[in-house]
Amino acid sequence: MPPEASPLLEVERLTVRFGGLVGLSEVSFTVSQGELVALIGPNGAGKTTLLNVLTGLVRPTRGRILFRGRDVTRDRSDQLSRQGISRTFQLIRLFPGLSVLDHIRVGAAFGRSTETSRPTADDLWHIMAMTDLRHLAQRQAGSLAIGDRKRLEIARALATAPSLLLLDELIAGLAPPDTRALIELIRSIHRQGVTIIMIEHIMPAVLELADRIIVLHHGEKIAEGPSAQVVRDPVVIEAYLGMPPLPSSCQP
């Protein structure tokens, strides 16, 4: 039998301390090429801190990150982007005076390693078509509705040509039609071969999209596994899903 392929991402005993506050404690997991993994947990669990470490915005106190087998623990955000790691932000970070098209150009300029790998105009328009933004190409970002802003966050990240896309609470706060559109967009991106780690509190979306769930609580990983299995874990139910587990005598 051929040897099993190495994971795309390996996180080994990742620890982050902010003075006396522990943001992450000994967190380890792997993500294989082509997976869609959800990262869940209560507010303050360390989810965004983890994404910030994976994208070079926060330096870990201890631990190691491997991407395609290479140690990237100390790499800068721009270096990680050029290697294929891109992200969106929970608090949308757009340039209000720039057009939709210019935002995508910025993403392409930041994330591509050489001039020859930069996308063509057709590539940029394809990204806008995929994210349903073509009709807004010349619109300033500051004038966009919230659903369009979130799609622009994704479009700018896609312009970097990521192999690993990190999504930070994109679905929360949207009206049902925008929620459905965003779920379908995430699914479409994933079908095109992009590996995705998504932070999300909207559990129906998590269960619809994710192959696997990782649960953080107080900076520690408390559960990991197939989505249907994790949401039935009594520890996860008690820590995050809002109700204590049933006594064993009452379990079905």
Count of CB atoms situated within 10 Å of the CB of 126: 14
* Tally of residues, the chain: 252
Residue 57 in this model has a pLDDT that exceeds 90: yes
The pLDDT value given to residue 118: 66
3-class DSSP state of 102: helix
Residue 33: both structure tokens together: 């090429």
Closest listed residue to residue 231, CA positions, set 198, 197, 206: 206
* pLDDT tens per residue across span 176-229: 999 999 999 999 999 999 999 999 999 999 999 999 999 999 999 999 999 999
* pLDDT tens per residue across span 225-246: 999 999 899 999 888 876 544 3
The pLDDT value given to residue 157: 95
Q: Please, which residues have CB within 8 angstroms of residue 176's CB and are 6 or more apart in sequence?
A: none
Residue 248 pLDDT grade (very low, low, confident, very high; cuts 50, 70, 90): very low
Question: How far is Cα 49 from Cα 52, in angstroms, rounded to an integer?
Answer: 5
Phi, psi of 12 (to 5 degrees): -120, 110
Q: Which domains does the chain have, with CATH numbers?
A: 1-79+163-252 (3.40.50.300), 85-161 (no CATH)
Compute and round to an integer the Cα radius of gyration of the chain: 19
Question: How far is Cα 110 from Cα 1, in angstroms, rounded to an integer?
Answer: 41
Residue owning tokens 């040509």: 161
Question: How far is Cα 113 from Cα 46, in angstroms, rounded to an integer?
Answer: 31
Question: How far is Cα 200 from Cα 16, in angstroms, rounded to an integer?
Answer: 21
Residue 247 in this model has a pLDDT that exceeds 60: no
**Which residue type sits at 239?**
A
* pLDDT tens per residue across span 108-158: 887 765 554 667 788 899 999 999 999 999 999 999 999 999 999 999 999
Residue 170 is given by DSSP the state -
Question: How far is Cα 245 from Cα 8, in angstroms, rounded to an integer?
Answer: 35
The pLDDT value given to residue 212: 96
